[in-house]
Amino acid sequence: NAGVTQTPKFRVLKTGQSMTLLCAQDMNHEYMYWYRQDPGMGLRLIHYSVGEGTTAKGEVPDGYNVSRLKKQNFLLGLESAAPSQTSVYFCASSTWAAGGPGEQYFGPGTRLTVT
Amino acid sequence: EDKVVQSPLSLVVHEGDTVTLNCSYEVTNFRSLLWYKQEKKAPTFLFMLTSSGIEKKSGRLSSILDKKELFSILNITATQTGDSAVYLCATLGGTSYGKLTFGQGTILTVHP
């Protein structure tokens, strides 16, 4: 049981390049999330999914797209990277608990630098 | 707008000391409060508090929630150098997708 995994762990992009971050969970969780963490800003929600085939915008969705074609995978795409997207990206998942989503379990993070 | 504020922002103690970390919140549709520990990598889950006045305990860590005064505290007794980390407080809202609102975190440094 690996929990939540993310690939890649590190990436450097040039401005305008595109890339996809992959998140996978083996806990059969319904809910999945993508966050970014910046110094002094805490974790901010980019996009989330409440089930296979569904996605929705979080607090800071601009410049990102997501897809959830399979329950266990949640992909985050950057179509045209910008230096403002330099950050650490965390994926998380949670299950249903006592009438609603429960605690979230986080992946190890992806450190992305855009030059 | 939902808001979670942690204090202090940083704390330096020596091994064996007891520390108290604070978290206050203003959240609509509050459901639960969560504490996470982050050591350079992913936040790891510590506690989830839903009811007022019921202490949750795990080893040297304990936490309690006051829903009337809208705050929570995380206590760590007999601190060790391995407790050095960022401690994150987050509130889980009552939205259908489980909106987590995070505080800025408290950086705890424990010296030998």
pLDDT grade for B53, boundaries at 50, 70 and 90: confident
pLDDT grade for B94, boundaries at 50, 70 and 90: low
Write out the two tokens for A29.
């969780």
Q: Is a pLDDT exceeding 80 seen at residue A41?
A: no
Secondary structure E strands in A39-86: 42-51, 54-57, 65-67, 73-78
Q: How far is CA B80 from CA A61, B17, B71, B77, B99, in A?
A: 39, 8, 25, 9, 33
- B93 shares contact with chain A (CB less than 8 Å): no
pLDDT grade for B1, boundaries at 50, 70 and 90: confident
Lowest-confidence region among B11-15, B25-29, B34-38, B77-81: B25-29
**Between A39 and A63, the higher pLDDT residue:** A63
Position B96 scores a pLDDT of 63
Q: Which residues sit opposite A31 in a β-bridge?
A: A94
Residue A114 CB neighbour total at 10 angstroms: 19
CB contacts of A100 in chain B (<8 Å) are 31, 92, 94, 96, 98
Contact B35, B50 (CB under 8 A): no
Q: Mean pLDDT, to the nearest integer, of B40-52?
A: 89
Q: Is a pLDDT exceeding 90 seen at residue A95?
A: no
- A110 shares contact with chain B (CB less than 8 Å): no
Mean pLDDT for chain A?
92
Mean pLDDT for chain B?
92
Cα separation, A57 vs B73, in Å, equals: 31
- B88 shares contact with chain A (CB less than 8 Å): yes
Position B28 scores a pLDDT of 82
CB contacts of B97 in chain A (<8 Å) are 31, 48, 50, 56, 101
Q: Is a pLDDT exceeding 80 seen at residue A101?
A: no
